[in-house]
Structure 1
Amino acid sequence: MKLGDGVEQAIHSVALLAGLRADRVLAAAALAEFHGVSQSYLLKHLQALSNAGILATVPGPNGGYKLATSAAKITLLDIVLAVEGTAPAFRCAEIRRRGPNPLPAVATIRPCEINAAMLKAERAWRNELAKVTIADVLSSVAANDRDGFIDARVCAFLELRERHQPAP
C-alpha cells in the first residue's frame, strides 16, 4: 500500500503545530515554508484535518492553524483517515465472477479469501497507527535529539512565524 505525500505533510504539520503556545497560530504559508512543500497542496490537507476536528482554524489577517485538541489525543490513524479517507485500502471487485470462465454465484457465496486476508492486514495496520499519538512521536523525537538540533530548529522557526491570538 502506498499513502499519498499528503499524509507525511499532514503528520509533520500537526507535529509542528503541537509546539505552539496555546494563544498562537501558524499560517499555512509558514507550515509550507518550514517543510519546503507546495502551499496549495498542503492547504488541501490542512482543510481535511480541520474538517476532521484535528486542527482549528482562526480566520483573519493574523489567523492560521492550531491543534483543536491535545497532541496526546491525536493518533497517526486519525491523521491518515482525515487525509486519505476512511475507505479500506483494498477493495474486492469480485473478479472471481468475471473473465471467460467465471465462477457461478453459488461458488462465491463465501467471502473471497484474498479479500479476508487483506482486510485482516489492514485492521492490524490501523490498530497499530491508532496506538501512536502525536505526543508519542514528539516524545520519541525529543529523546533522540541528543544535540538539540531538531528542537532548536523548531523553536527558532516558531519564534519568527507564529502569530499571537488575542483573548476573545
Structure 2
Amino acid sequence: MALYGADVEIGIHTLLCLLRTTQPVSSHELATYQGLSPTHVAKVLGRLQQAGVVASSPGKTGGYLLARSAAEISLTDVVDAIEGPKPLFACRDIRFRCELLAGDPPEWATCSMCAVNSAMKRAESAMRDVLAKTTLRQLGEEFVRKAPPEFLQRASGWFVEHREQRVSSGRPSEP
C-alpha cells in the first residue's frame, strides 16, 4: 500500500501543468489534459486552494493559478494540503505485549524509545526533509530538460486553445 494516495500524485501533476501559464486554467481543462476525472481534480484543487497553494478566480476567464512562486511551493506543502501531515509509522508498542514479560515489562525494556519506532521516525524525518527541499520549480525544470521542445510547445498550445474556446463560448469556469 502506498504511503500517499493518488490525490497527492494528481495534485503534483496538476500543479506542474500550471507552471508555464500566466492565464487561469479551469479544473475541467486540467483534468481533460491529464485524462483524469474533472470532479476528482476539482476536489484536489479545492484542498490546494484552502492551503494557499493555488488561487482561483470565477467567470468565463477564471480558473486556477499558482498562489505563489513555484520555487516557494515544496512537495511538503502539497502533501500536507492534500492529505494533512501524517506519520510514516504508528508505533503500537508491541514490545509491551511480550509473553515473557507477563504484562509487567522491566525498566530496561521501556526506559527509552523502541528501536523500531526510533528507526521509523528517522526514516520519516529524512523523507519529509527531501519533500521539504524539493520544489515545484525543481520538478518543472527537470521535466523541461527531459521533454522535447516540440512537446512543450504543444502542451502550451493545448491550454491556450482550450482557454480561447472556453472564453469565446461564454462557458463559465468552475473556476
Instruction: Place the TM-score, normalised by the shorter chain, in its bin.
Output: 0.7 to 0.9
How many residue pairs get aligned? The number is 161
Partner Cα distance (1:16, 1:37) in 2: 13
Shift of 1:6: 1.0
Match of 2:3 in 1: 2
Partner Cα distance (1:150, 1:103) in 2: 65
How do 1:1-168 residues align onto structure 2 when only pairs under 5 Å count?
1-21=2-22, 24-98=23-97, 101-102=102-103, 104=105, 106=107, 107-145=109-147, 147-162=148-163
1:44 to 1:140, Cα distance in 2 relative to 1, 3 A: same
Three-state SS of the structure 1 residue aligned to 2:12 is helix
More helix by share: 2
Unaligned ranges ≥5, structure 2: 168-175
Structure 2 counterpart of 1:132, which letter?
A: T
TM-score (norm 2): 0.81
Q: Please list the CA deviations of residues 38-60 of structure 1 after superposition, one character each: whole Å capped at 9, or x if unmatched.
A: 12222221111111111011123
TM-score (norm 1): 0.84
Conserved in 2, the CA contact under 8 Å of 1:96 and 1:102? Answer: no
Q: Which runs of structure 1 show a deviation greater than 2 angstroms over 4 or more consecutive aligned residues?
A: 59-63, 95-109, 161-164
Aligned residues: CA RMSD: 2.1
1:58 to 1:99, Cα distance in 2 relative to 1, 3 A: farther
Conserved in 1, the CA contact under 8 Å of 2:29 and 2:159? Answer: no
Choose 1 or 2 for highest CA Rg.
2
Unaligned ranges ≥5, structure 1: none
Conserved in 1, the CA contact under 8 Å of 2:3 and 2:88? Answer: no
Partner Cα distance (1:105, 1:46) in 2: 51
Q: Percent identical across equivalent pairs?
A: 34
Shift of 1:72: 1.1
Structure 2 counterpart of 1:80, which letter?
A: V
Shift of 1:102: 4.3
Conserved in 2, the CA contact under 8 Å of 1:9 and 1:42? Answer: yes
1:150 to 1:6, Cα distance in 2 relative to 1, 3 A: farther
